Amino acid sequence: MAKPPAFDEIWGKSGGSEARPEFAALAEWINATPPAELNRRQQAAEAAFRQLGITFAVYGEEEAAERIIPFDIIPRIFSAREWSNLSAGLEQRVRSINAFLADIYGDRKILRDGVIPSELILRNPQFLPQMAGAKPPHGVWAHISGIDLVRTGPDEFWVLEDNARTPSGVSYMLEDREAMLRLCPELFEIFDVAPVDSYPDLLHETMRSVAPKPGNAPVCVVLTPGHFNSAFYEHSFLADNIGIELVEAADLEVVDNYVWMRTIDGPVKVDVIYRRIDDAFIDPLVFRPDSLLGVPGLISAYLAGNVALVNAPGTGIADDKAVYSYMPEIVRYYSGEEAKLPNVETYRCREPEALKYTLDNLDKLVVKLVDGSGGYGMLVGPTATRTQIDEFRTRLIAEPHRYIAQPTLALSTVPTLNEQGIAPRHVDFRPFVLTGSDGIRIVPGGLTRVALTEGSLVVNSSQGGGTKDSFVLKDAKAAS
Amino acid sequence: MLSRTALNLYWTGRYIERAEFNARLLQATIRLDSLSPRPAGLAAWSSALSVATAEYGFKQTGQALSPSSVAHYLTLADENPSSIRCCLRHARTNARAVRTALSREAWETINRAWMSVRDRTSPGGTQAALNLIDQIKAEARGFEGALHRMLRNEASWFLRLGAAVERADNTARLLDVKYHLLLPPDEEVGGVIDRDQWTTILHTVAAVTSYRWLYREGLKPWLIAEMLILRSELPRSLAASMEEVVAMLTALSRRSGKQGEADRLARTRLTKLKQSRIDLLFQSGLHEYLQEFLADIPALDQAVAHQFRFG
């Protein structure tokens, strides 16, 4: 069955004969630079990543192989107009997510008004009943959100997933840009690219803005599970670039409901913690008692309003894919507007009609676990075998409430370098949205993930995905 | 600075220094062995084990004393916590945990040194062992160079503090094992064998040429002792090591405005060194003096840990 070609972000639907007018210059650059030269630069970038230790798997004592996420030298470009539409949509969505979190852990108006079924929230394992009534400093819950977007046409952007726990990948956005500046400086002469290097400063401002008590210099830290964690590079990268301490649980101590870090000059009070540890592990007194990564008493200090946790515990409920399916209603409920960024059509298998439709169309749909991530526990109907589909059918009938289904989208493609030359590959996009007490900050850029295998729609790094730099062009009028 | 960071840096400094010392010890031992009449060279190897305080551990392995078994034990044995490989593994683990506190060059030398021993199963023949030693020494030099180009802040002070404490400890142990060879001037000077032993001591602390510069005369055992204990011109002497310890502690306390037990211990020890003369040390007993010095090292270690809240 021949599929219609996907929308290519540079070539449009022309199949490579004629570039979209605003990106003609990129097409010319690609044509003028021999693939061997592009290849050489790409390898130089990857060698630099390896040397810097931008690794993604743990490289422990015994493990000889260090893995880096493959990097693709051909950037992906958003026009100023596209970006301004996207960022307006992102801002609206993240504001709504924060309002939603404050509401369900507070008065639960949205449940009483019957917009979302109560049991979907209250019986959801991602909902933390211990956090009911919590008042995070300045009312911010999701300080850092990574919204995963996909595209199917010139103006057709869709939200695929909201990441409101601890979205990762921002270090790739920054390192990819550094690599491009070093290896393809001419591109920055051709295009007026908005810089992304202010991200660490914006993150620091966001963190300072949510310090519990106003003061001159709130103490902010990054809390990591330790250097055996696969994302340790990113943790140390951020702490380093912000200029704050990278702490482990053993460096922190809660005394009288305040959090202190042990320094060579004695205890120092900590005001804001950007924690890269999951809720379940963050405080053994409240959540998993066997956690050695957590800080006993941290939640108590947080609930007393003495420390800000970035992101607040309990935000995982906004990641849940069943909750996701209600995002258009959630946005409408809190903003009074229609969602600017649409959801992908979603069938909640908990509902009998949706389940029937899903079961009848398993070979056409993508079926996902509501709490799954990383591309695990999902069925991609069009590429699955008969056996896989039958197996999934059994699971689906047994526990329909654990699944949602979505149509397979024709994800947009971007020209990408491979052994044979340059060919279109499917991409997605994760911009990072910062929410402080003083408003929302979005760096013009994000993480573009690319499925390096021909035809593949799975961009996850654990399954052969790579990254690309994402150029956002400055507004020509604003720039002049 | 986080206490944990300081702790990791301190031990990174100590382990790199220990790895390098052990490399030099091995190099000097190979040299002594090849100079010795067969099969008396074994004494050189058993003495090397003593200097590395590894006699007991080596016996536990049940291996017969031989050049290759000792060389393996000192370089690669995982059951020897002070083998070069273990030192470099500890140094790397500590450094990796505080990677951002190190400059890129400093980290790379540690990482490279570790890679050079990570997959080795045997130090190989004499030539291969000497090559390995040269490589370790070169990386250690590289680390020192990188250290001197790091930001002059707490991170570099803790690294250098650890290295200086370790250096003092190593030199004192070396002297204590060989003290019976270092006779006061009125004793009868031995023959060729003693000369080889003295040279070995100098080789272990990289001071053969330094001796000529400082004394401009033939090898005299009491002068060797004086140089290694009292002459602060020699970087690996006890005096120079303690000067460095005091300087690093001073840099740290100047920043915080606070001094503690570690400062007091180090200063007292340095003052004693400055006021000593080698003939007085021989009179009151070199061995006793070195034992007392060596007992100070764990005390200093504890004081540092307490003062900077490593616990």
* pLDDT tops 50 at residue B15: yes
| Residue A86 and residue A431 in contact, taking contact as beta carbons nearer than 8 Å | yes
Of A242-246, B122-126, B129-133, which gets the smallest average pLDDT? B122-126
CB contact under 8 A, B4 and A251: yes
| Residue B2 and residue B97 in contact, taking contact as beta carbons nearer than 8 Å | no
Q: Which two tokens stand for residue B27?
A: 């190099």
**DSSP 8-state secondary structure symbol assigned to residue B1:** -
| Among A61, A240, A263, beta carbon nearest to B2 | A263
* pLDDT tops 70 at residue A372: no
Surface-to-core class of residue B34, CB atoms within 10 Å of its CB (0-12 exposed, 13-18 middle, 19+ buried): exposed
Of A182-196, A370-384, B47-61, B190-204, which gets the smallest average pLDDT? A370-384
Residue at token pair 């999951």? A278
CB contact under 8 A, B100 and A240: yes
| Residue A447 and residue A175 in contact, taking contact as beta carbons nearer than 8 Å | no
Phi–psi pair at A209, nearest 5 degrees? -70, -20
Phi–psi pair at A161, nearest 5 degrees? -165, 145
Report the pLDDT value the prediction gives residue A374, as an integer from 0 to 100.
58
| Pick from A414, A423, A417: nearest CA to A38 | A417
Q: Which whole number is the average pLDDT over B276-293?
A: 92
Report the pLDDT value the prediction gives residue A102, as an integer from 0 to 100.
97
Report the pLDDT value the prediction gives residue B118, as an integer from 0 to 100.
87
| Pick from B45, B42, B67, B41: nearest CA to B54 | B45
Phi–psi pair at A378, nearest 5 degrees? -130, 155
Which residues between 6 and 65 in chain B have a beta carbon less than 8 angstroms from any beta carbon of chain A?
6
> With bands split at pLDDT 50, 70 and 90, how would you rate the model's confidence at A216?
confident
Report the pLDDT value the prediction gives residue A62, as an integer from 0 to 100.
41
Cα B264 to chain centroid, rounded: 23
Residue at token pair 């393996």? B72
Chain A interface includes B127 (CB < 8 A): no
Residue at token pair 């030192």? B87
The region, left, alpha or beta by phi > 0 then psi within -120 to 50, assigned to residue A134 is beta
Domain boundaries, chain A: 213-306, 346-408
| Pick from A467, A471, A480: nearest CA to A169 | A467
Whole-angstrom CA distances from A14 to A11, A90, A371 are 6, 30, 39
Coil, helix or strand at residue B281 = helix
Report the pLDDT value the prediction gives residue A283, as an integer from 0 to 100.
93
> With bands split at pLDDT 50, 70 and 90, how would you rate the model's confidence at A59?
very low
Q: Which whole number is the average pLDDT over B228-247?
A: 96
| Among A227, A240, A265, beta carbon nearest to B97 | A227
Query: How close A47 gets to chain B, by Cα (Å)?
Result: 14
- Bridge partner residues of A430 (DSSP): A447
Of A443-447, B19-23, B284-288, which gets the smallest average pLDDT? B284-288
Whole-angstrom CA distances from A250 to A225, A260, A296, A377, B50 are 10, 11, 10, 34, 37
Q: Is the dihedral of CA B58, B64, B68, B69 positive or negative?
A: negative
Report the percent of chain B where pLDDT is more than 70: 97
CB contact under 8 A, B3 and A264: yes
Query: How close B231 gets to chain A, by Cα (Å)?
Result: 33
Question: Any idea which architecture A346-408 has in CATH?
Answer: 2-Layer Sandwich (3.30)
Q: Is the pLDDT higher at B233 or at B120?
A: B233
Report the pLDDT value the prediction gives residue A418, as an integer from 0 to 100.
86
CB contact under 8 A, A263 and B3: yes
> With bands split at pLDDT 50, 70 and 90, how would you rate the model's confidence at B218?
confident
| Residue B88 and residue B15 in contact, taking contact as beta carbons nearer than 8 Å | yes
How far apart CA B172 and CA B165 sit, in angstroms, is 11
Coil, helix or strand at residue B2 = strand
Report the pLDDT value the prediction gives residue B234, as an integer from 0 to 100.
95
Please list every residue in chain A whose beta carbon sits closer than 8 Å to the beta carbon of residue B308.
264
Please list every residue in chain B whose beta carbon sits closer than 8 Å to the beta carbon of residue A265.
256, 258
Residue at token pair 């009288």? A256
Please list every residue in chain B whose beta carbon sits closer than 8 Å to the beta carbon of residue A262.
2-4, 309
Report the pLDDT value the prediction gives residue A61, as an integer from 0 to 100.
38
HEC string of B199-247?
HHHHHHCCCHHHHHHHHCCCCCHHHHHHHHHHCCCCCCCHHHHHHHHHH
Inter-helix orientation angle B286-307/B238-256, to 10°: 20
Please list every residue in chain A whose beta carbon sits closer than 8 Å to the beta carbon of residue B6.
264
How far apart CA A2 and CA A10 sit, in angstroms, is 22
Whole-angstrom CA distances from A163 to A44, A324, A463 are 32, 10, 19
Of A285-294, A350-359, A427-436, which gets the smallest average pLDDT? A285-294
Q: Which of B94, B100, B115 should one mutate to test binding to chain A, selecting the residue with the greatest count of A CBs within 10 A? A: B100
Closest chain B residue to the Cα of A239, Cα to Cα: B100
Mean of pLDDT over chain A: 89
Please list every residue in chain B whose beta carbon sits closer than 8 Å to the beta carbon of residue A53.
99
| Among A53, A246, A264, beta carbon nearest to B6 | A264
**Other CB atoms within 10 A of residue B112 CB:** 16
Please list every residue in chain A whose beta carbon sits closer than 8 Å to the beta carbon of residue B2.
245, 247, 251, 261-264
Please list every residue in chain B whose beta carbon sits closer than 8 Å to the beta carbon of residue A263.
1-3, 309
| Residue A400 and residue A391 in contact, taking contact as beta carbons nearer than 8 Å | no
How far apart CA B251 and CA B263 sit, in angstroms, is 11
Report ipTM (2 d.p.): 0.80
Instruction: Classify A213-306 by CATH class.
Output: alpha beta
Q: Is the pLDDT higher at B191 or at A199?
A: A199
Report the pLDDT value the prediction gives residue A301, as an integer from 0 to 100.
97
HEC string of chain A?
CCCCCCCECCCECCCCCCCCHHHHHHHHHHHHCCHHHHHHHHHHHHHHHHHHCCCCCCCCCCCCCCCCCCEEEEEEEECHHHHHHHHHHHHHHHHHHHHHHHHHCCCCHHHHCCCCCHHHHHCCCCCCHHHCCCCCHHHCCCCEEEEEEEEEECCEEEEEEEECCCCCCHHHHHHHHHHHHHHCHHHHHHCCECCCCCHHHHHHHHHHHCCCCCCCCCCEEEECCCCCCCCHHHHHHHHHHHCCEEECHHHEEEECCEEEEEECCEEEECCEEEECCCHHHHCCCCCCCCCCCCCCCHHHHHHCCCCEEECCCCHHHHCCHHHHCCHHHHHHHHHCCCCCCCECCCEECCCHHHHHHHHHCCCCEEEEECCCCCCCCEEEHHHCCHHHHHHHHHHHHHCHHHEEEEECCCCCEEEEEECCEEEEEEEEEECEEEEECCEEEECCCCEEEEECCCCCCCCCHHHCEEEEEEEEECCHHHHC
- Bridge partner residues of A442 (DSSP): A433
Chain A interface includes B3 (CB < 8 A): yes
**Other CB atoms within 10 A of residue A28 CB:** 12
Report the pLDDT value the prediction gives residue A214, as an integer from 0 to 100.
78
CB contact under 8 A, B2 and A239: no
Question: Tell me: the pLDDT tens digits for A103-142?
Answer: 999 999 999 999 999 999 999 989 999 999 999 999 999 9
Does a cis peptide bond (omega within 30 degrees of 0) precede residue A311?
yes
Q: Is the pLDDT higher at A458 or at A352?
A: A352
Closest chain B residue to the Cα of A52, Cα to Cα: B104
Closest chain B residue to the Cα of A232, Cα to Cα: B97
> With bands split at pLDDT 50, 70 and 90, how would you rate the model's confidence at A341?
very high
Kindly calculate the radius of gyration of chain A based on its CA atoms and give it in whole angstroms. 23
Does a cis peptide bond (omega within 30 degrees of 0) precede residue B67?
no
* pLDDT tops 70 at residue B306: yes
* pLDDT tops 50 at residue B247: yes
Q: Is the pLDDT higher at A407 or at A21?
A: A407
Phi–psi pair at A169, nearest 5 degrees? 115, -5
Q: Is the pLDDT higher at A419 or at B187?
A: A419
| Residue B12 and residue B143 in contact, taking contact as beta carbons nearer than 8 Å | no
Query: How close B2 gets to chain A, by Cα (Å)?
Result: 4
Which residues between 292 and 311 in chain B have a beta carbon less than 8 angstroms from any beta carbon of chain A?
308-309
Closest chain A residue to the Cα of B1, Cα to Cα: A263
The region, left, alpha or beta by phi > 0 then psi within -120 to 50, assigned to residue A220 is beta
Q: Is the dihedral of CA B21, B27, B30, B36 positive or negative?
A: negative
Closest chain A residue to the Cα of B96, Cα to Cα: A227
Q: Is the pLDDT higher at B60 or at B126?
A: B60
Please list every residue in chain B whose beta carbon sits closer than 8 Å to the beta carbon of residue A226.
97
CB contact under 8 A, B308 and A264: yes
| Among B97, B256, B309, beta carbon nearest to A262 | B309
Mean of pLDDT over chain B: 91
Question: Tell me: the pLDDT tens digits for A258-273?
Answer: 999 999 999 999 999 9
Whole-angstrom CA distances from B245 to B91, B239, B269 are 19, 10, 10
A29-63 b/e with 16+ CB inside 10 Å = b? Answer: bbeebeeeebeebbeebbebbeeebbbbeebeeee
- Bridge partner residues of A145 (DSSP): A433
Report the pLDDT value the prediction gives residue A3, as an integer from 0 to 100.
57
CB contact under 8 A, B2 and A53: no
